Amino acid sequence: DQQVKQNSPSLSVQEGRISILNCDYTNSMFDYFLWYKKYPAEGPTFLISISSIKDKNEDGRFTVFLNKSAKHLSLHIVPSQPGDSAVYFCAGNNNAGNMLTFGGGTRLMVKP
Under the criterion CB under 8 A, does residue 93 sit at the interface with other proteins?
yes
Q: 27-46 mask for other proteins (x: CB under 8 A)?
A: ----xx-x-x----xxxxxx
Q: Which of 14, 26, 27, 51 binds other proteins (CB under 8 A)?
A: 51
CB of 1 to other proteins, least distance (A): 11
Under the criterion CB under 8 A, does residue 58 sit at the interface with other proteins?
no
In sequence order, the 6+-apart residues with CB closer than 8 A to the CB of 3 are 25, 26, 27, 92, 101
- Residues constituting the chain: 112
CA angle, 31 then 33 then 37, to 5°: 160
In DSSP terms, which residues pair with 58 in a beta bridge? 63
For other proteins, the closer CB: 14 or 31? 31
Q: Are 82 and 100 in contact (CB under 8 A)?
A: no
Positions in the binding site for other proteins (CB under 8 A): 4, 6, 9, 31-32, 34, 36, 41-46, 49, 51, 89, 91, 93, 95, 98-105
